[in-house]
Amino acid sequence: MPYRATFNLTRAPFSAEIEPHSLFQSEAHTQCKARLDYLRRERGLAVITGEVGSGKSSVLRAFMRQLAPSSYLVLYGAVPAVPGPLRAVVEGWLEQLGEKLPFNNLARCLHLLHQTLEAIDEKGRQPFLVLDEAHLLDQRGLLQLKSLLNYDMDSRLPLALVLAGGPKLARALSLPPLEEIRQRLLFAYPLSGLKRTELEPYLAARLKQAGCERQLFPPEIVDEMYRHTQGIPRRVNQLANLCLVAAANQRLQQIDSSCLLQALEEMGLAEEVRRERSDFTAGAGAR
């Protein structure tokens, strides 16, 4: 990035490319990882929901990295935005397992996956399945996944399955037709963004990982950043990155309000700021 030389950075501090062990340990992420560890121990079905950019995939990647390959078989899938997407996911998992796919038959694919995962568990490796973008599944797709969890009452479930998706997933699961899915959930955790008190430490931590220990974002700027991002990490990263670009272009050593306004302009949010300022000025004039 063009600002790296200006701030003596070794890399772009707000890039999405960050090692899982370097993730900022917000309260929401810590709580989420604790629940994932509970799922690992107890097995079964769990759900994680959150706004786009809240860090669902990041916290899942970090957790999956901790699972020893000798003890766990991790299968990751993301629901594609295509008709009948569950078949593509299940076939992808079967291919990862080296299984021959039943031709164009989701029910047989699910049955084969069920048997394969059970056999893997019996050999001493617990399957841990992650299905991202699960809000793209319709009610039928969610109900079909239930077959992976159908075992005798006295049998120990051979797998853990976590569904991750946007708020649409939480709304879908609240509907009456999916009551039997809700009853099987170990937990449904809504992953929130950073708190305001976490935003300054978050920015400082990301900058430090890139070789900068100076305070580049004054508290009043951080207040505004939080107001416009609500602490959603992806939005914060985008806004912080654009602020650094603006500061470098102006040869500034710290982010100021002009940098923030320019960054908000590039994110399509500047009109909101101008309208708020106009309303405030009009209100002051009326008094």
Q: How many CB atoms lie within 10 A of CB 87?
A: 19
What's the pTM value of the predicted model, to 2 decimals?
0.88
Q: Round to whole Å and give the CA distance between 284 and 269.
A: 23
- Residue 73: which H helix or E strand, with range? strand 72-78
pLDDT of residue 22: 72
93-106 core/surface letters (b: 16 or more CB in 10 A; e: else):
bbeebeeeebeeeb
What pLDDT score was predicted for residue 120? 96
pLDDT of 269: 85
Per-residue confidence in pLDDT tens, the chain, 287 aa: 678 888 999 999 998 777 766 789 999 999 999 999 999 999 999 999 999 999 999 999 999 999 999 999 999 999 999 998 999 999 999 999 999 999 889 999 999 999 999 999 999 999 999 999 999 999 999 999 988 887 655 567 899 999 999 999 999 999 999 999 999 999 999 999 999 999 999 999 999 999 999 999 999 999 999 999 999 999 999 999 999 999 999 999 999 999 999 999 999 986 666 665 555 444 545 55
The predicted structure's pLDDT at residue 280: 41
What's the token pair of residue 80? 């594609």
For strand 185-190 and strand 160-165, is the pairing parallel, antiparallel, or unpaired?
unpaired
In the chain the first and final C-alpha atoms are separated, in Å, by 47
State both tokens at 267.
């994110």
- Three-class DSSP category at 77: strand
- 44 touches 157 (CB < 8 A): yes
